[in-house]
Structure formats: C-alpha cells, structure tokens
Amino acid sequence: MEYRLERIGNLIQQKIGALIVEGRIKDPRVNPFLSITRVSVSKDLAWADVHVSTFRNETNLERGVEGLQSAAGFIQRELSREIRIRQTPRLRFHVDASLKEEFDLIKKIDEIKEDIP
C-alpha cells in the first residue's frame, strides 16, 4: 500500500509540474519557475499535500502557492483525466522554502571559494 501511495504521489507531482511548465494554469500568480518538490498522499486517497518551491523570492512563492490553490479544482479535474484511480485526491498546496535555501547555500559556498587564495 505504501508503495502505491508513493507511486501516485510521484505521478501527481509529474502531472502538476507539466501543467505549470506548459502554461495550462492560467492564473497569473503561477509562473514556470515554480517547482513541485514533494507530494504526500493520505492513505485513503482523500487528500494530497503538494509542496511547492522556487529559487526566486518568497513573495513570488507565496503568491504562486495561492494561485495554485485557487486553481486546485482545475488541476484536480486534469489529474482525474490523466490518472486512472477510483478517487482523485483533493489538493492542498504548501510553501516549501527548501529550493531557495539550497540555492542560497550554494551561492554562499561559491563566495567563500572565491575568497580562498
């Protein structure tokens, strides 16, 4: 069962990512720099928690998550067309700052390397 939930989560992650990149989500707050980092599906398939990140500033990320949440009905409908499961989970989008933190860390490491003679 756990493997199945993980597989469904990965599939949802791929499909939402494709919707974002292809520009099929028309909300202006959703930009192609948003990245779906993780999807956790509940055991009863009622909910899917979608974690969203970006390397851009936090304001863009929060607005993007709001845009995705606003478009959740459309996204869920698209998922139900592409994923053949009995019940398509309802989507909840969450801010995930990990990508920005990693980007900033790499930038700091590069700066330190430049300072070393």
90-95 and 47-53 as β-strands: parallel, antiparallel, unpaired?
parallel
Residue 114 confidence class, pLDDT cut points 50, 70, 90: confident
pLDDT at residue 21, as a whole number: 94
- Tell me, what's the pLDDT at 5? 92
Per residue in 32-73, pLDDT (tens digit) is 999 999 999 999 999 999 999 987 777 888 999 999 999 999
Range of the domain at 69: 2-115
Query: What local confidence, expressed as pLDDT, does residue 60 receive?
Result: 85
Q: Where residue 1 falls among pLDDT bands split at 50, 70, 90?
A: low
pTM > 0.75: yes
Query: What is the CATH number for 55?
Result: 3.30.300.20
Number of domains, the chain: 1
Q: For residue 36, what are the CA distances in angstroms to 15, 18, 52, 90, 111? A: 10, 10, 5, 16, 28
Q: What is the tens place of the pLDDT at every residue in 66-83?
A: 999 999 999 999 999 998
Q: What is the pLDDT of residues 93-106, one digit of tens each?
A: 999 877 777 777 88
